[in-house]
Structure 1
Amino acid sequence: MKLSKIVANRQSWVLGGLFCVTLGASYALSLWHPLEHMPHSGISHTLAEFLFSFAVCFTVAGFAAMAWQYAYMRRQFSKQRRAHREAMELAQHDALTGLPNRRKFEEVFPAMTSSIKVGHYRGIMMLDVDGFKPINDVYGHAFGDNLLKSFAERLAAAVGPDGLVARLGGDEFAIVTPELADKSEAAGIARRILTKIQESFELGARKVSVGTGIGITIFPDDGYSATELLRRADIALYRAKTSGRSSFRFFEVDMDASILHRTLLEQRLRAAIKKNEVQAHYQPILDLTNQTIVGFEALARWNDRDFGQVAPKQFIPIAEDCGIITDLTEHLLRAACKVAKTWPDHMCLNFNISPVQLQDTTLPLKVISILSETGLAPDRLVLEITETSLLKNPMSAKTILEQLTAARISIALDDFGTGHSSLSYLRDFPIQKVKIDKSFTLKMNEDKESAAIVEAILILADGLNIDVVAEGIEQPEILQKLNSQGCHYGQGFLFGAAKSAEGITTLLQNELPDNETVPEGAQPSSDISPLFSDQKKTAI
């Protein structure tokens, strides 16, 4: 109840008590003088004493009523003030972890920075929980909440009482460090945080490990307001996460320009997808025994009017991060299937699937729908996945791949031998083909270890009855060596770079020239980067 209502509801009681006091006191005083001079015997004296006593009691009752109402209102005022304080605490603190929220962070930040000594600093850090969403999805929200509480406790212990830890929302946290005599001390605090977070979290019967990235800004060097320092710390956090798991980065001025460039690129990419400006080009895959084309790999190409030819390793990660990879993939797959439908029936279409999409349980339905729409036979489509894409949720990935295989779509394991290579993938997942990464193929002549790895993959695949495609074939000597070791399929500059759909039509209408090779001394360009770049594949 509001204070005004409390006062209004009790006003009649207060006025009534005041009336009783005034009336009773006045009447008692009016009886006092006559009572003194009245004889002590007789009915008149007795009646006067009774009336005087009644007036005194009436006055006392009035005082009592006023005192009780005063005490009541005071209790209500105290209760209201306490409730207001509690409401303010709830409004400024996170209900799950008990940490200050963004509002409280921005409120106390000026006081924390205005009190520091001249020549001293405070560090502002942004961080989040690596891999939190998969953990939340697999183990449930209750487990995820307990993980966040434990994560928050470790942060508070690492920062200490002279700093501030706040939860901004979701799995995002912000930190104001204790006062620093030297800016490098912020790095020490960041390392201490990373060390604590890297220890396993034991929650009930389960034990999980998570990482975190940390972006750091320095007050006053990088800004004065909490909003600006948090924004720049968030930019540094993004750089830290691209550098690798569990690392930290200080904000640098050129990061602002980089983020602006990325933001503009994202806006242009969204528009380009809507306008169908991102096109599929096709690199031939050959049967190495007779050097005849058996299929093509679809590769994304985007030529922006201002940015020019944008490499896939630039725009594919952006599409994945901002959630438009599904739209891009469906557009490219639909276009590629329409083009592949015009090829001879024995030729297959290889198409890369993003690790993000391999977690989408509706992927098989989407692919089958596109095949039905374009008329391309399912057994002519080969979907390429990476080893790292199987790590996030192996059981879900296995179910999706089995559904695709049941629809007669082939699965190829791309970049085999890099990243988190495991022979168990070939045993546990429905893999029909493996592609040897070009980093091994290119070095076969001068690097014995690379040559040995290629040979081992070929022997293993032969024993498992799995087809092998060697990527990055650029020299006739490499082709000859692969042929002698039993590698049946390959692709690379030696046979041609990726071409547009029109260029492929012309190529198929003519015989592939025997002398179509890359000029001597030429280096691979971004033009033959796969749809989902090596850099992004490794990072995921």
Structure 2
Amino acid sequence: MGAIALVTLSFATFHEVVKLQQGVDQPLYYSSRLEETGRMAREAGELFDYAEQYARGSDQYSYDDVILALDIFWSRVNSINTRSYIEAFGDTDIDSVLVPELAKALPSFDDAVRSLESGNTASYEPLYDLKVKFSERLGKLAEFAWSRRTQMQTHLAATNLNILSRIQHIQVGFVAIIVLFLSYVVSQLLITRRLNTKLHNLVEEKSTLLLTDPLTQIANRDGFEKYVNQLSAFEKPDFSIVLMDLDGFKEVNDALGHSVGDRLLKDVACILSSQSADEGLACRFGGDEFALVVPGSLNAAEACAEHIRAQVEALTLGQEYPIRFSISAGICHWSSLSGDCTIDEILSCADFSLYSAKEMGKNRIVIFQASMQEQYASRKLIHSLLPVAIAEQKIDVHFQPIVDLTKGRAIFALEALIRWNISEGHPIETKKLIEVAETNGQIKALTCLVLRRALRLSKRLHDNNLTLNIAVNFSALLLSDPNLASEMTAILEEERVEETNIVLELSKYEEMEGNSVSNRNLIALSKMGFNFSIDDFGCTSSNIRTLLAVEDIRFKLAEDIVRDVVVSNTARELLRGLVSFISAFDAMIVAGGVDQEEQAQIVQDVGIRYAQGDCFYSALTEDAAFDLVANQ
């Protein structure tokens, strides 16, 4: 009987211990999921805060910080959108559709982040709309998760105390109690070991995720820096960084849609991965910017970059999209820089080489030379100061007259020209200023600043019964912006302009794609009263088919052609040929860069009526230009 009682008590004790174990395991499992749910609201708040600071132009957070915050939030939402997390909430009245809605809205978060522009607070509006939609609900879900976790822990403690109390009242033999206790300890050790293994695997998985670009599945910026730090730790580092950028990717993305753009990015990533399969690392920094770390000599990196360039040039997206692509690359070897250089320094040098490749015509490779550093420092200074100068209205706009050669060189029109001094006596070359604005995303803001100044002078002239056109340089690439028409309408309304006499001188028109967005913008701007002129005609390949659909198109000849007409018969014949070609369209011709009297005479002799240059007038301040027009 004693043996039977002992066995009975032993089983009773074992049953209570099992209940204790189950009461610990399952609540702990759910508690960890409730904790991760609470973190989701904080990570969303960090994403919104980083993005807002970046859009305000703050240097506290970079675009890479915003992208990393988006990646962490993206991963958290996807992990929480599973059955185990839903079970953790139990049978409670919660916002059960919030997490699925967030998962569905992740592409919208991605689009909103990628539309951010430093110093442009309006670019934050799409992400702000998402903040308004989800922040309050996220906060409530986080509060519920923490409250649920506290309740669960309290209930767990009370339940386990009751179980332990019952175990203490069971009369068992000393040996049986020791055996059961040891069994419990062993089971807990096994469970702990299993949990530690799962935790280790989860940490490894999260670490890999944080170093990987989610779209292309190659390394991201953090993965790049980790790899380069490992290589640079050697006594004599021997590797190159190849920085690459797709030519005209924005136009492809705007014309064909983000899905086609993403497909192209994945194809390019595959090409880079195949080049780094044996050694090295392929990375995507964001957008259409890629990097390749190539161990070994500079020659090896150049050969690798050329192979990639050729493969991208041969890349197609099938018969559905018969488009050709190209890529530009800048290379810098670690040995090209003196002393102990940093990752940012070698990246900056590779970036300048890439910029040089773009400037030289794209679809090419440029290797960094030490002589480029001074040029890069100047460009970097302009890059950092330009957004502030635009925001604080420190950019000056002067106006140079365009004369009518057939009417005694009377003033026919004006052209708005940018003038900017970084410091006293240090003017910035206009061409360099515009190039930097195009590369750092400030070209629209700069163009709008000049346009507003031109509109104010035009209105001032109109109010004094003086009417003439004012030309404003306008990058044709802006025509691909789907928001352009509405923004231009807003400018006209804010400046209270009823009738515009502005001529938009289109530069970069050779790169303009005749897509539906560009066509709609051309028509909309024309209806607003804007006229168009093709700038620098004769010195670049031309893509004017779309522009010729606009009425009253004008042509401004490139200054390089006019400059040589005095000393070169070829230049004079080219000038005559261009005049003959343009005359077939019955379009107006303006000769730019007429700085000498001999040039003015030749220009008039070949039949050009309008001319501009220092031979007639230099660029004037707004007040001086107004007085000149008023007194002629």
When the two structures are superposed, what TM-score results if normalisation uses the length of structure 2? 0.64
Query: 1 CA distance for matches of 2:592 and 2:538?
Result: 12
**Structure 1 residue 255 displacement after superposition:** 4.6
Query: 1 CA distance for matches of 2:508 and 2:243?
Result: 31
The yes-or-no answer on 1:87 pairing with 2:206 is: yes
The yes-or-no answer on 1:161 pairing with 2:278 is: yes
**Which residue is 2:433 aligned to?**
315
* Counterpart among 405, 408, 411 of residue 526 in structure 2: 405
**Structure 1 residue 4 displacement after superposition:** 11
**Structure 1 residue 160 displacement after superposition:** 3.5
**Which residue is 2:109 aligned to?**
none
The yes-or-no answer on 1:298 pairing with 2:420 is: no
Against the structure 1 CA distance between its residues 325 and 233, is the aligned structure 2 distance closer, same or farther, given a 3 Å change threshold? closer
Task: Give aligned pairs, total.
Answer: 475
The yes-or-no answer on 1:130 pairing with 2:247 is: yes
Against the structure 1 CA distance between its residues 420 and 81, is the aligned structure 2 distance closer, same or farther, given a 3 Å change threshold? same
**Paired residues of 1:358 and 1:389 also in contact (CA < 8 A):** no
SS of the aligned residue for 2:593 comes to coil
When the two structures are superposed, what TM-score results if normalisation uses the length of structure 1? 0.73
**Paired residues of 1:347 and 1:380 also in contact (CA < 8 A):** yes
* Counterpart among 269, 277, 280 of residue 152 in structure 1: 269
Query: 1 CA distance for matches of 2:27 and 2:371?
Result: 57
**Structure 1 residue 363 displacement after superposition:** 4.0
**Structure 1 residue 390 displacement after superposition:** 5.8
What are the within-5 Å matches in structure 2 for residues 104-503 of structure 1? 104-112=223-231, 121-178=238-295, 180=296, 182-202=297-317, 205-219=320-334, 222=337, 223=340, 226=343, 228-253=345-370, 255-291=372-408, 292-340=410-458, 341-342=460-461, 345-367=466-488, 370-371=491-492, 378=499, 380-386=501-507, 388=509, 391-392=512-513, 394-422=515-543, 424-425=545-546, 427-503=548-624
Against the structure 1 CA distance between its residues 422 and 110, is the aligned structure 2 distance closer, same or farther, given a 3 Å change threshold? closer
**Paired residues of 2:241 and 2:293 also in contact (CA < 8 A):** yes
Give the share of equivalent positions with the same residue, in percent: 26
Query: 2 CA distance for matches of 1:82 and 1:132?
Result: 38
Structure possessing the higher radius of gyration over alpha carbons: 1
Against the structure 1 CA distance between its residues 157 and 350, is the aligned structure 2 distance closer, same or farther, given a 3 Å change threshold? same
**Paired residues of 2:476 and 2:512 also in contact (CA < 8 A):** no
Q: Which amino acid aligns with 2:419?
A: R
Q: Which amino acid aligns with 2:223?
A: K
Query: 1 CA distance for matches of 2:322 and 2:506?
Result: 29
**Structure 1 residue 151 displacement after superposition:** 0.9
Moved more, 345-354 or 213-222: 213-222
Moved more, 164-173 or 224-233: 224-233
Against the structure 1 CA distance between its residues 490 and 109, is the aligned structure 2 distance closer, same or farther, given a 3 Å change threshold? closer
Against the structure 1 CA distance between its residues 262 and 460, is the aligned structure 2 distance closer, same or farther, given a 3 Å change threshold? closer
Q: Which amino acid aligns with 1:453?
A: L
**Structure 1 residue 487 displacement after superposition:** 2.5
**Which residue is 1:517 aligned to?**
none
Q: Which amino acid aligns with 2:301?
A: A
What are the within-5 Å matches in structure 2 for residues 33-44 of structure 1? none
**Structure 1 residue 79 displacement after superposition:** 4.0
Against the structure 1 CA distance between its residues 449 and 66, is the aligned structure 2 distance closer, same or farther, given a 3 Å change threshold? same
Q: Which amino acid aligns with 2:452?
A: R
**Paired residues of 2:252 and 2:261 also in contact (CA < 8 A):** yes
**Structure 1 residue 91 displacement after superposition:** 2.8
**Structure 1 residue 245 displacement after superposition:** 1.2
**Structure 1 residue 345 displacement after superposition:** 3.5
Moved more, 377-386 or 464-473: 377-386
SS of the aligned residue for 2:219 comes to coil
Against the structure 1 CA distance between its residues 322 and 72, is the aligned structure 2 distance closer, same or farther, given a 3 Å change threshold? closer
**Paired residues of 2:475 and 2:509 also in contact (CA < 8 A):** no
Against the structure 1 CA distance between its residues 2 and 93, is the aligned structure 2 distance closer, same or farther, given a 3 Å change threshold? farther
Q: Which gives a bigger RCO, structure 1 or 2 (Cα 8 Å, sep 6+)?
A: 1
**Structure 1 residue 254 displacement after superposition:** 5.3
Q: Which amino acid aligns with 1:149?
A: K
Q: Which amino acid aligns with 1:354?
A: S
**Structure 1 residue 481 displacement after superposition:** 4.3
Against the structure 1 CA distance between its residues 2 and 399, is the aligned structure 2 distance closer, same or farther, given a 3 Å change threshold? farther
Against the structure 1 CA distance between its residues 23 and 73, is the aligned structure 2 distance closer, same or farther, given a 3 Å change threshold? farther
**Paired residues of 2:242 and 2:292 also in contact (CA < 8 A):** yes
Against the structure 1 CA distance between its residues 73 and 24, is the aligned structure 2 distance closer, same or farther, given a 3 Å change threshold? farther
Moved more, 356-365 or 129-138: 356-365
* Counterpart among 206, 212, 222 of residue 103 in structure 1: 222
Q: Which amino acid aligns with 2:457?
A: V
**Larger helix share, 1 or 2:** 2
Query: 2 CA distance for matches of 1:132 and 1:475?
Result: 42
Against the structure 1 CA distance between its residues 282 and 201, is the aligned structure 2 distance closer, same or farther, given a 3 Å change threshold? same
SS of the aligned residue for 1:487 comes to coil
**Paired residues of 1:146 and 1:203 also in contact (CA < 8 A):** no
Against the structure 1 CA distance between its residues 423 and 147, is the aligned structure 2 distance closer, same or farther, given a 3 Å change threshold? closer
**Structure 1 residue 325 displacement after superposition:** 3.4
Against the structure 1 CA distance between its residues 76 and 416, is the aligned structure 2 distance closer, same or farther, given a 3 Å change threshold? same
Deviations 1:461-494 (A, max 9, x none): 3332222222233445544444444332222233
Deviations 1:271-314 (A, max 9, x none): 44445443322222222222222222221223443353322113
**Paired residues of 2:512 and 2:543 also in contact (CA < 8 A):** no
Query: 2 CA distance for matches of 1:111 and 1:475?
Result: 60
Unaligned runs of 5+ in 1: 28-54, 512-540
Against the structure 1 CA distance between its residues 105 and 455, is the aligned structure 2 distance closer, same or farther, given a 3 Å change threshold? closer
**Structure 1 residue 415 displacement after superposition:** 1.7
**Structure 1 residue 154 displacement after superposition:** 0.6
Query: 2 CA distance for matches of 1:228 and 1:3?
Result: 52
SS of the aligned residue for 2:522 comes to helix
SS of the aligned residue for 2:529 comes to coil
Query: 2 CA distance for matches of 1:270 and 1:69?
Result: 61
Against the structure 1 CA distance between its residues 386 and 214, is the aligned structure 2 distance closer, same or farther, given a 3 Å change threshold? closer
